[in-house]
Amino acid sequence: MLPHKRKRALPTLLPGVGILLVSGLAQAAYEINLNPPAATITQEIFDLHMLTTWIATIIMVIVTALIIYSLFAFRHSQGAVADQEFHNNWFGRWAWVLVPVVVLGIDLSIASSASSTLSSVESHDKADVTVNVTGSQWKWTYEYMEDGVKIVSNLKKLEPTDPLYLRDVDNPLVLPTGKRVRFLLTSSDVLHNWGIAEIVPKKISIPGYINETWTHITKEGTYRGQCYENCGTGHAFMPAVVTAISPDKYTQWMTEQKTQAAQAATEASSDKVWAKEELVAKGQEVYSKNCLACHQAAGQGLPGVFPALAGSAIANGAVADHIDIVVKGKAGTAMAAWGPQLNDLDIAAVITFERNSWGNTAGDVVQPKDIKAAR
Ligand code: HEC
Ligand SMILES: [Cu+2]
């Protein structure tokens, strides 16, 4: 009965296996390995991964082959009898020593590669560029410590059908190739985790604590990662994107950033009184960048999670309360203090925008000096 059944099982299984193979091959971008590394440190990590993968594969092949061979060669139906004298010859006596020695030798060679890679990851050598990376619910803020330039990197809104859906940002972090870059990681609220497989080993970002990691990028390009710590309902909405460019292009880019930042700072700190239309237009930009992710495009919020600003008591009530919650945030909720993150002009503009949009009829205008006074 049994041999008969076994003969039948194989032909029935074959078409299934065939379909699996074909559908696997049909996937054009079928990749089984990690993305190719584009930095010295990730190359080291990649090499370690290949070394251990090869050792594991070879061991698996040898062990599987031995098992299959033994199952056939020493099967009971052929009259195989367990060897009672194995320990009484040379091999039987020494195998218990030789096998552990070989295993230990393999282990130690993996361990020495692993510890040298780990010490490279943790090395604190002098860097050419230092970037302070701050995670917040749900965006990344990058500050170039030497140049005083700051980039706020928010999720770019794309359609779910877009290949870059949830993987692209409005402002990527721009870095030079061929330079050593140090990252100082921290958080303004909960635990986040920053890294990009091709170029930077990931590290946890902890409020009130600074972690360090680094890279030395070897190839220009755009590299994508994300937050690797489950940090709340918007965890999927904080991708990390790095654009690596040549040192020359980087210097030029940095000069432009500094000029722009200087202009924005002069504008924000001037005592200029702005027209309502100007503030509303500017406020809309600030809103899309910083507030839309939670309070939504039409100020409708997400019921039960983020309050609607359209028709809200605060956005239609006393202006002082509105300024207060935006500048100082609300402790224990996802509403962050925007005072330290935005300048007076941006905050005045976004509040004016909120009070005059989506059917809100407060109608008043908030000027940068009102924000300065409320800080
Ligand atoms: C990460 C999500 C998030 C972001 C981003 C965010 N908020 Fe909020 N906001 C909240 C939450 C949550 C509350 C409710 C806090 C509470 O429980 O009172 C809130 C409350 C408010 C309120 C009070 C609404 C009311 O009627 O109670 C205002 C006004 C407001 N936010 C403005 C802003 C502005 C302006 C920005 C952008 C600069 C912004 N928020 C960005 C989450 C967010
Ligand atoms: Cu996060």
The 10s digit of each residue's pLDDT in 53-70 is 999 999 999 999 999 999
H-helix or E-strand spanning residue 140: strand 139-144
* Model pLDDT, residue 82: 86
Kindly give the distance from the C-alpha atom of residue 188 to the centroid of ligand 1, in angstroms, as a whole number.
16
Ligand 1 lined by 352 (C-beta under 6 Å) = no
Name all contacts of 336-344 with Cβ < 8 Å and 24+ positions apart.
Answer: 336/136, 336/137, 336/188, 336/189, 338/290, 339/375, 341/141, 341/152, 341/290, 342/286, 342/290, 343/264, 343/265, 343/268, 343/269, 343/368, 344/268, 344/269, 344/368, 344/369, 344/371, 344/372, 344/375
Does the structure show a pLDDT above 80 at 26?
Answer: no
Residue-wise pLDDT for 190-208, tens only, equals 999 999 999 999 999 999 9
Kindly give the distance from the C-alpha atom of residue 335 to the centroid of ligand 1, in angstroms, as a whole number.
5
The correct answer on CATH 2.60.40.420 for the domain covering 129-263 is: yes
Indicate the residue type of 173.
L
* Model pLDDT, residue 272: 83
d(CA 300, CA 302): 7
The pLDDT-based confidence of 10 (bands split at 50, 70, 90) is very low
Ligand 1 lined by 211 (C-beta under 6 Å) = no
Residue indicated by tokens 């320990």: 87
Q: Please compute, for residue 95, the number of CA atoms within 13 A of its CA located in the half-sphere on the CB side.
A: 7
CATH number of 270-374: 1.10.760.10
Collapsing DSSP to helix, strand or coil, 224 comes out as strand
- Give this prediction's pTM: 0.72
Residue-wise pLDDT for 248-304, tens only, equals 999 999 999 999 888 888 877 777 888 999 999 999 999 988 898 889 989 999 888
Which sequence spans correspond to the domains of the chain? Answer: 35-77+84-123, 129-263, 270-374
Kindly give the distance from the C-alpha atom of residue 180 to the centroid of ligand 2, in angstroms, as a whole number.
25
Ligand 1 lined by 350 (C-beta under 6 Å) = yes
Given the candidates 1.10.287, 3.40.1350, 3.40.50, 1.10.3470, the CATH classification of the domain at 35-77+84-123 is 1.10.287
Does the structure show a pLDDT above 70 at 6?
Answer: no
Residue 176: Cβ within 10 Å count: 21
Q: Out of 141, 295, 323, 344, give the residue to mutate to test ligand 1, the one with the largest number of ligand atoms within 8 Å of its CB.
A: 295
Collapsing DSSP to helix, strand or coil, 373 comes out as helix
